[in-house]
Structure 1
Amino acid sequence: MSRTPWYVGTMLALALVASGCSGGDDEEEPTGLEVPDGVTLNEGGTELDLGESATVAYPEDAEDATALTVTVTAVDTGDIADFSLFSLSEEDAASSPRYVRVTVVNEGPGTPGTTSLPIFAHTDDRTLLTANSIVGSFEPCPPTPVPADLEAGEEIEQCLVYLLPADRQVESIDLQVTDAASAIRWTVPAPEDTPAPEE
């Protein structure tokens, strides 16, 4: 599978289906959104640490927008052995999984209107990977879609699966509501260097 510097997804036969990605245009946040009292939207391009929250208008359509507070709480490295019961392509079988834990709170006044948010794994070769949604149960990273009718005040916890080439690392997790330049980014710490073995 060829890789591009933008949206890249993988298809895991029978068990995983690549989620759709949200295309971006240059529109600013919806002018018709009545932001609830006490809620402040983050500016595009905001950079955060894991565990910090960002609030965005979503979707970008002015009539349907609601304020969502998104928190990327953790990025865990999985084991491809976790997928032993799945039918994998040769390329997928050589990949390195990442499990991204996300919390989404609907601040109101509307509903998300979708079951997945445009959240990408931004790798160190400037590639954006889409999450793979899992059909059925998956204990290491339980699939939980965002309810399209998530009401104001409700919260959902998600775990998103990304399959990276074994030689790649995740630099950030990007929430891209409009375009890449205005993405909200959670910086992922580089893995600690492995000490050289003693002679």
Structure 2
Amino acid sequence: MRPTRPTRALLAGLVAGSLLLTACSDDSGDGPDAEGSASPSSSAGTASASATPYLPVPDGVELTPQGSELEVGEEATVAWEPKQDKVGVLSIRVDRLEKTSFKESFGGWQLDAATKKSNPYFVRATVTNAGDTDLGGLRLQPLYIVDGNNTLVEHSSFASTFDPCPSAPLPKKFGPGKEAEVCLVYLAPGKGELTAVSFRPTQEFNPVTWTGELQQVKKPGQGKKGKKSGKGKGGGRG
């Protein structure tokens, strides 16, 4: 099954003093909406690469086939159009999936009733600019999670620093070859479960997905190999 349209994270009432946590989501129809789509997903080992890339990329860049299903720790090279006539190419390695709680990570934030009904997750990844365009300041908008209701959930953004997981745009200067470690915050409505991470920039795109075990939230100074908090592997695909 393919996920339904992106859902808007419910953060309107999440306020701490003068700090406001907001989610940027586009329900206008420009983003991916899989209703009515029947094209199947393929595994990374069986997905066949097209003779030509789905977007123009620099010579020598090989895009990961659409429909590839990866495990946490594996890397995909993907492309999307963040702006008209501007193509971004990123190598993305999803490093870690974390399930947290509002009590553990959002101490001091005032949560409204709708927000309390969601489940918070952190997704940590390493991204490298594999193209020839400066992607500074852009959000990783096509990178969603898929919840237990087969819905795409876009990551949240912050009006100021959120130390546990910044969920910030790419660095202001992010030219070719630059690398950054990122952490993105997702709120799955209705106590939804994170079942996969999905790169899907358009409705027509057959998504590239990652699945893996949910782990405990990284503590300050903790290395990438944190203690695991669950044994079940995410079963959904984007």
- How many residues align? The count is 186
User: Residues of 2 paired with 1:181 and 1:18: CA distance?
Assistant: 23
Deviation string 1:40-91 (CA, Å, 9 cap, x unpaired) is 1111111100111110123277842232111111110112112232232112
Unaligned runs of 5+ in 2: 38-52, 215-229, 233-238
Please report how far the alpha carbon of residue 113 of structure 1 lies from its aligned counterpart in structure 2 after TM superposition. Answer: 6.5
Identify the range of structure 1 (163-172 vs 121-130) with the bigger mean alpha-carbon deviation: 163-172
**SS of residue paired to 2:70:** strand
Assess, with a 3 A threshold, how the Cα gap between structure 1 residues 45 and 60 changes in structure 2: closer, same or farther.
farther
The 8 Å contact of residues 9 and 188 in structure 2, kept in 1 or not, is answered as: no
**Residue 123 (structure 1) aligned with residue 123 (structure 2):** no
Could you tell me how far apart the structure 1 residues matched to 2:101 and 2:194 are? Answer: 15
> 1:145-191, CA deviations, whole angstroms, 9 ceiling, x for partnerless residues?
11465200101221111112464311100011233651110013374
Question: Would you say the 8 A contact 2:7–2:153 is kept in 1?
Answer: yes
Structure 1 residues 111, 95: closer, same or farther in 2, change over 3 A? same
Partners of 1:89 and 1:163 lie apart in 2 by: 13
Aligned identity (percent) is: 28
Residue 81 of structure 2 corresponds to 59
Which shifted more, 132-141 or 14-23? 14-23
Q: Is the 8 A contact 1:112 1:150 kept in 2?
A: yes
Match in the other structure for 1:153: 177
Q: Distance in 1 between matches of 2:205 and 2:169?
A: 26
By relative contact order (CA 8 Å, sep 6+), the higher-ranking structure is 1
Q: 1:148 to 1:187 in 2, by over 3 A?
A: same
Does residue 185 (structure 1) correspond to residue 209 (structure 2)? The answer is yes
Moved beyond 3 Å, runs of 4+: 60-63, 188-191
Instruction: Tell me which residue corresponds to 2:5.
Output: 6
Letter in 1 for 2:4: P
Alignment of 1:130-145 (within 5 A): 130-145=154-169
SS, match of residue 92 in structure 1: helix
Distance in 1, matches of 2:149 and 2:162, equals: 28
TM-score, length basis structure 1: 0.80
Q: 1:160 to 1:83 in 2, by over 3 A?
A: same
Would you say the 8 A contact 1:173–1:188 is kept in 2? no
Aligned-partner SS, 1:192: strand
Scaled by the length of structure 2, the TM-score of the pair is 0.68
Task: Report if the CA contact (8 A) 1:80-1:97 is conserved.
Answer: yes
Residues 41 and 135 of structure 1: is their aligned pair in 2 closer, same or farther, counting only changes over 3 Å?
same
- 2:24 corresponds to which letter in structure 1? S
Report what 1:17 is aligned to.
22
Aligned alpha-carbon RMSD (Å): 2.8
How has the CA–CA distance of structure 1 residues 180 and 158 changed in structure 2, closer, same or farther, with 3 Å as cutoff? farther
- Following superposition, the deviation at residue 139 of structure 1 comes to 2.1
* Distance in structure 2 (CA, Å) of the matches to 1:146 and 1:128: 21
Instruction: Please identify, of 75-84 and 17-26, the stretch whose mean Cα deviation from structure 2 is larger.
Output: 17-26
- Worse-matched range after superposition: 7-16 or 59-68: 59-68
- What is the CA-CA distance between 1:10 and the residue it aligns to? 1.6
Deviations 1:130-151 (A, max 9, x none): 1111222222212331146520
